[in-house]
Amino acid sequence: MNDQRRRVVIVPCSGIGKTYGTVSREAAYEVTEEHRPQATQLVALSLLVLGDDDARAAVAAQPVVTIDGCKLACATKMVQESGGTVAQEFAVLDVYRRYREFKPQGIAELNEGGQQLAHALAAEIVTVVDHLTSEAEEHNHA
């Protein structure tokens, strides 16, 4: 029971073959592997769809940030259907509207614009993760 620190679960879109889906996954990897590996946990959307017990338990116990690649909002809907609470949802298209200079293209490999959009999205997610984890710290010390 050493790791009582709250982790933020990141659930990206699994839109395989779609540019915005790739942007969402790249941003999620950047946050969970590079920027905040101690404070975050990546949960694959496919595991929630399959009803994986560990994935469902993770989203039910921790605050969740979802990253949706399209208007279907599959990541957000599946977290909610799995008993999770979405603390913050991001839509790649909305982020793109804020950073129109980063025109994403490519699927297996993003072009430079897509990479830059993923970096911008990751930076926004890091801000939310930092807010959620500092909120938890304050709550634990109260």
Q: What single letter denotes the amino acid at residue 57?
A: A
CATH number of 8-133: 3.40.50
Residue given tokens 């599946």 in the structure block:
78
Are 116 and 87 in contact, with CB atoms under 8 Å apart? no
d(CA 120, CA 141) in angstroms, rounded, equals: 32
Does the pTM surpass 0.85? The reply is yes
Residue given tokens 């430079």 in the structure block:
112
Residue 3: the pLDDT is 47
In the chain, where are the structural domains located? 8-133
Cα separation values, 80 from 3, 34, 45, 96, Å:
25, 27, 12, 25
For 57-95, the pLDDT digits (tens) are: 999 999 999 999 999 999 999 999 999 999 999 999 999
User: What angle is formed at CA 46 by the lines to CA 33 and CA 11, rounded to 5 degrees?
Assistant: 40
Within 9-111, where are the H helices?
19-29, 45-49, 53-61, 74-81, 92-98
For 86-132, the pLDDT digits (tens) are: 999 999 999 999 999 999 999 889 999 999 999 999 999 999 999 99
Pairing label, strands 85-91, 40-42: unpaired
- DSSP class of residue 4 equals -
| DSSP-derived 3-state class of residue 79 | helix
Q: Identify the sign of the CA torsion 24, 128, 10, 3.
A: positive
